[in-house]
Amino acid sequence: MLTVLLVVLAIATVLSLVNGQMIISPGEVFASIGAKLGIGTVDPAHAYSEAALWTVRFPRVALALVVGAALSVAGVLMQGVFGNPLAEPGVIGVSSGAAVGACTVIVFGLSALGSWTLVVAAFLGGLGATMLAYRTARRGGRTEVVTLVLTGVAINAVCGALIALLVFLGDTQAREEIVFWQLGSLNGARWTQVAVVAPLTVTGIVAALCLARQLDLLSLGERSARHLGVDVEHLRRIAILIVAVLTSAAVAFGGIISFVGLVIPHLVRMVLGPGHRWLIIVSAVGGSALLLIADLLARTLVTYAELPIGMLTALVGGPFFFWLIRRGSRGAGGWA
């Protein structure tokens, strides 16, 4: 499965570099890469496409790769911690908290950090919402999963109300920007953004791999994991922190992109089983491939226009989510 996904990822990467508002041939792409590596030179007639590749296409493809991997690995951790294949990063309010931070900057025109103000606000909003959910759900040194989920639902509701209030307070331009940001987009990706998200994503994935064995034991049940020496509370706390960092970083630069953290981990788990080491690795590759394909479709489905990438992932993830619920209900004696 990993080999297949790597092939899909390679094909999607080439197609993403070739297609867009301006068509660039695969030969030009490979020649440009070769020139950067010191192999050959670029035809001066292709100087414009060369600039487009390294200023627009490559940063956008790189951002799609790291954001997709971050969201997917965050989904793996959420499903492992909650012991539920329907869990995803938005459950504990990370995305909605980041949205509140970003919308606040948009409406009030804050610019303390220049162009990075919105990104930093979204990142801090996601982290803050996660920490609030965790601290609220913690009682007597323990965190009940059900309480954490319910707390996440409450935080999502409050954040939704705050976003509605900010939309009401904002002018027409601010409202349009808020709506577009909430739908998700990788438009305007830059190397400076990739330089921030990539280290956070790689660090998060490595940290998740370090938790793989403990997550495997936790899948046997909380009581069994404790008997086998797993500090469940510490594991849950570290996993939620990693989820918050990965999701906040992804949402800060890409907006709210739904269902990547739900669809990919669940599909990979169905094929590979519950072993978290390979589950994390393959899900990272699958998440990158899915988001890259979604971004390619967002850029090319409508001529001279760009669809919100979050809308496309929701159109795929929504029906898949309904299918999961129906499948689970059948297994539990629900729907016929």
**Taking 60 as the threshold, does the pLDDT of residue 332 lie above it?**
no
Give the chain's domains with CATH numbers. Answer: 2-329 (1.10.3470.10)
pTM score, two decimals?
0.87
Distance CA 315, CA 169 (A): 30
SS3 helix, strand, coil % of the chain, rounded to 5?
80, 0, 20
**Taking 60 as the threshold, does the pLDDT of residue 329 lie above it?**
no
Distance CA 326, CA 315 (A): 17
Least confident of 80-89, 99-108, 157-166, 304-313: 80-89
Distance CA 31, CA 9 (A): 20
Least confident of 2-6, 40-44, 60-64: 40-44
Beta bridge partners of 297: none
In whole angstroms, how far apart are CA 255 and each of 4, 84, 214, 229? 29, 25, 31, 39
Which tokens is 320 given?
Answer: 């898949």
Distance CA 152, CA 135 (A): 11
Under 8 Å between Cβ of 298 and 316: no
What is the structure's pLDDT at 333? 41
Which tokens is 72 given?
Answer: 């997917």
Beta bridge partners of 143: 138
What is the structure's pLDDT at 49? 74
Beta bridge partners of 139: 142
